[in-house]
Amino acid sequence: MARVWAFLTNTRGGARLHWTDWASYAYLTLGIFLMFGPVVWLVMSSFKTEADLQRYPPTFLPYQQETVMVDGYDDPLPLFLMTGGEYEGQVLAQLRRVGLQAQMIDPENPTERLRVTIDQREPVDRIALATENYTDLFERFSFLRYFWNSTFITIMATALMLLVNSMAAFALSKYEFRGRTTVLLLVISTLMIPQTVVLVPLFLIVTELGLFNSLWGVIIPGAATPTGVFLLRQYMLTIPDEILDAARMDKASEWKIYWRIILPLSAPAIAVLAILAIMWRWNDFLWPLIVLTQSENFTLQLALNSFQGELQTDWSSLLAMTVLTLLPIACVFMFLQKYIATGIASTGGK
Amino acid sequence: MLSLISPLMRIVEIPMLALQRLLGMNKLAWVFLAPNLVLFGLFAFLPVILNFSYATTGGDNVLLADRPDVGLRNFVQLTDCTNHFDPNSCREDKFWRAVWNTTWFVTLQVGFMVGFSLLTALILNRDIRARGFFRAVFFFPVLLSPVVVALIWKWILQREGVLNAFLDWTGAGGINWLVDAGWAFAWSVFISVWAHMGFYTLILLAGLQAIPRDVYEAAIMDRASPWRSLTRITLPLLAPTMLVVLVLALIKGVQTFDEVYAFTGGGPGTATTFIIQYIYERGFAGAPRLFGLAAAASLLVALVLILLTLVQLWLNRRNVDG
């Protein structure tokens, strides 16, 4: 035990832990709790039944009340443990509750009806996952529709963005032509025009193009990004021109050079941009909110937002849907954490 | 996937080769640029120009031809106040409420965010175990969608939520967090710091790791205390990164909409209505659709953002030239 402790408190330099080290670990532990806690709580809650969600104070683990099938009754009856009165210690099934009284029966002896007051009993619970919260999503809501819309937008927008931005980056990194500096400045200046400040005219243009209430109205306007062009251009600048010249000697067309040489060689930068694009598009909210007004076109984000208004009390479906919405991004994160970190650090975000 | 793209690329090669013969190699660059420039033109530059037309016309028609010219009346309506610090004295009181809410929000949010990001980055930069794991812990909320962030915290903060249960248990008593204007605002600041902090932590951590090791070794030789090497070496050398982070956070803070809108809907009342929500509501959410006012307000926001972006570009100037 002492050796384990010595190992744990050992720092790389071999010195003992200073009080600042303790403070650091305390801060980081608090960080785990504060950053992961809410998401863990959400996931646990999403497996609770509607009745369990109403429980106050709430429990960490999801519980369900035990039920029992009794001869002569079609539905399963909830079980209660009697904590007082003449049946103390017995487990009874409830038939119905009337005010402060409840009609119970003994499952062993279902003919006799017993009358008890409700403060003399407590429910018999067991830990159980309410997976019906999830299955309900597919039956009661057009969840798959929203999921498909989100997926379609994310994939198409990412592909389009990669193609368009890498073509521009190729031109800006590998060609000497008049006006190159002007184009570079134009691209930079679009940094100053975030979607949020041109919502009204953007809406007109998208409507005029017939893209209002169409998924393409969300996909196309964001396809060209200054961030994407610059990220790829910086990377392509590091590819030696000699490779291109050699290919030209072999009579390769410029297009072939672009997609057979430049694109494969820029794969790391393209991967980073792809991950960022997937993240932005999957989580996009304001522009889809304006363009997609019919519920069959909703993305998951829009559906979640509109349901939280409508289903104020139906938290069980809402929580399950929230979990399913964050799941794809969580998976991407787990596998590609390193790339995401480098990508964000090198582009400075959007 | 590749088997699908390859033939497609080969088909595109035919017209591209023809263009190459026609234009020559260097002019072909424009063909490569064309899709991007068309998209920029159509969805970035054209909207900027049109925004001015919208801002100077009235009515609720989206087609510019059907909109009557009102000159600067939209701007007058927006800025007509007896006292700009008191939204009640303004003709467009909601705009000024949004302006002041946003100002307060950005000040608090950016302050807390930069402070906590710096603290976290400094701690993560120490000689600690499992650094990668802890970095991931602080970073992962960045990936969550704004709506998901809002719902996670709404669930925790609801009247019979886990936080109130905890407070009841300690005897402090629960609070109806999102019904109280002050608390709703405070929690909006909190969730937005929670959601975005990891991003700035990452940038600051990269900045810290770029500080050469030998500077610290020299400090140890001179028997400088850890506190002294923090205030005299680390912080001054980190200042450029801090500035970038500050400006980035300001640019994003001004545009805050998604998570707070999904979290509080701007309420209670207008307590958490920010400027982008004002634009959204005037232009798109309710009837009549006052595109003119929305566009005029957008222009005012754009002015602030352009100034901030220019500062950002100036700070980043080494990365963009060449």
> Is there a domain that residue B152 lies in?
yes
Report which DSSP code applies to A176.
Answer: -
Q: Give B217's pLDDT tier (boundaries 50, 70, 90).
A: confident
- 3-class secondary-structure state, position A141: coil
pLDDT along chain A (350 residues), means of 10: 61 65 90 93 89 80 80 79 79 80 80 79 79 83 90 94 95 90 89 87 91 93 90 91 91 90 90 88 93 91 86 79 89 75 59
Would you place residue B320 in the very low, low, confident or very high pLDDT band (cuts 50, 70, 90)?
A: very low
Q: Which residues pair with A127 in a beta bridge?
A: A63
Interchain CB contact of B40 with A (< 8 Å): yes
- B26 touching chain A per CB within 8 A: yes
How deeply is B220 buried, as exposed, middle or buried, from its count of CB atoms within 10 A (0-12, 13-18, 19+)? exposed
B301 secondary structure, DSSP code: H
Shared-domain flag, residues B297 and B189: yes
B19 and B133 share one domain? no
Q: What is the pLDDT of residue A12?
A: 52
**Does the beta carbon of A7 lie under 8 angstroms from any beta carbon of chain B?**
no
Query: What angle separates helix B93-124 from helix B181-209, to the nearest 10 degrees?
Result: 40
Cα–Cα distance between A218 and B278 in angstroms, integer? 21
Q: How confident is the model at residue B311 (pLDDT cuts 50, 70, 90)?
A: confident
Give A-chain residues touching B319 at CB under 8 angstroms: 234
Nearest CA-CA partner of B289 in A288, A211, A200, A218? A200
Decide if B61 contacts A204 (C-beta within 8 A): no
Q: What is the pLDDT of residue A50?
A: 81
A94 three-class SS = strand
Query: Looking at residue B122, which CATH number applies to its domain?
Result: 1.10.3720.10
> Taking the mean position of all CA atoms in its chain, how far away is CA B277?
13
pLDDT in the model for residue A330: 83
pLDDT at residue A348, rounded to an integer: 53
For CA atoms B201, B207, B210, B211, the dihedral sign is negative
Q: Are B256 and B305 in contact (CB under 8 A)?
A: no
Read off the DSSP letter of residue A191: G
Percent composition of chain A: helix, strand, coil (DSSP 3-state, to 5)? 60, 10, 25
Best of B21, B40, B142 to disrupt the A interface (most A CBs within 10 Å) is B40
Q: For residue A347, list chain B residues with Cβ-Cβ distance below 8 A.
A: none
Whether the CB of B203 is below 8 Å from some CB of chain A: the reply is: yes
Judgement on whether residues B257 and B309 belong to the same structural domain of the protein: yes
Would you call A22 an interface residue with chain B, using a CB distance cutoff of 8 Å? Answer: no
Which pLDDT does position B118 carry in this prediction? 95
Contacts of A248 (CB under 8 A, 6+ apart): A257
Quick check: B21 pLDDT over 60?
yes
Q: Residue B98: how many CB atoms within 10 A of its CB?
A: 26
Task: Say if B7 falls within a structural domain.
Answer: yes
Q: How many domains does chain B have?
A: 2
Nearest CA in chain B to A349: B199
Say whether both B170 and B316 belong to one domain.
yes
Considering chain B, what is the average pLDDT of its residues? Answer: 88
A197, A253, A266: best to mutate for the B interface, most B CBs within 10 A: A197
Confidence of residue B45 (pLDDT cuts 50, 70, 90): very high
Where helices occur in B93-174 by DSSP H, the ranges are 93-124, 131-139, 146-157, 162-170
Decide if A285 and B35 are in contact by the 8 Å CB cutoff.
no
Residue B68 located in a structural domain: no
Residue B309 covered by a domain = yes
B177 with B301, same domain: the answer is yes
> Is residue B88's pLDDT more than 50?
yes
- Is B131 found in the same domain as B33? no
B28 class by beta-carbon count within 10 Å (0-12 exposed, 13-18 middle, 19+ buried):
buried
CB contact at 8 A, B21 and B6:
no
State the nearest Cα–Cα gap between A100 and chain B, in angstroms: 23
Using the Cβ of B103 and the Cβ atoms of chain A, whether some distance falls under 8 Å is answered with no
CB count within 10 Å of CB A210 equals 10
A97: β partners? A102
The DSSP code for B271 is T
Which pLDDT value is given to residue A346? 62
Residue B62 domain flag:
no
Residues B41 and B124 in one domain: no
Domain that holds residue B43: 2-55
Determine whether the interchain pair A177/B36 forms a contact, defined as Cβ–Cβ distance below 8 Å. no
**Mean of the pLDDT values across residues B135-155?**
91
Output the furthest CA–CA distance in chain A (Å, rounded): 100
Q: Is B96 touching A (CB cutoff 8 A)?
A: no
Q: How far apart are CA A67 and CA A89, in angstroms?
A: 17
Residues of B with Cβ-Cβ distance to A54 under 8 angstroms: 160
Segment 46-85 of chain A within 8 Å of chain B by CB: 54, 56-58
Residue of B138, B262, B280 with shortest CB distance to A31: B138
Q: Is B210 on the interface with A (CB under 8 A)?
A: no
B190: in domain: yes
Angle at B143 between CA B139 and CA B144, to 5 degrees: 115
Tokens 């119970």 label which residue?
A104
Query: How close is the nearest chain A Cα to the Cα of B166, in Å?
Result: 8
Asked if B245 and B295 sit in the same domain, the reply is yes
Say whether both B30 and B103 belong to one domain.
no
The token pair that represents A123 in the structure block: 């429910």
Within this chain, do residues B181 and B34 fall inside the same structural domain, yes or no?
A: no
Look at B108-117, B151-160, B168-177 and tell me which has the smallest mean pLDDT: B168-177
ipTM for the complex shown: 0.87
Q: Do A283 and B54 touch (CB under 8 A)?
A: no
Contact B144 A329 (CB under 8 A): yes
Tell me what pLDDT residue A158 has: 94
The beta-carbon neighbor of B48 closest among A24, A36, A193 is A193
The pLDDT confidence band at residue B2, using thresholds 50, 70 and 90, is low
Q: Quote the Cα angle for A231-A233-A238, to 5°.
A: 105
B195 and B262 share a domain? yes
- Which residue in B26, B43, B153 is closest to A221 by CB distance? B43
Specify whether the CB–CB gap between B199 and B139 falls below 8 A. yes
Dihedral sign, CA of A294, A299, A301, A303?
positive
Indicate if B214 and B277 belong to the same structural domain: yes
Mean pLDDT of B69-81: 85
Give the SS3 label for residue A211: coil
Q: How buried is residue B217: exposed, middle or buried, by Cβ count under 10 Å (0-12/13-18/19+)?
A: exposed
The better pLDDT of the pair A15, B151 is held by B151
Tell me the count of A-B CB pairs closer than 8 A.
Answer: 283
CATH of A141-347, one of 1.20.1260.10, 1.10.3720.10, 3.30.310.50, 1.10.3210.10: 1.10.3720.10
- pLDDT at B279 (0 to 100): 93
Q: Nearest CA of chain B to the CA of A276: how many Å? A: 10
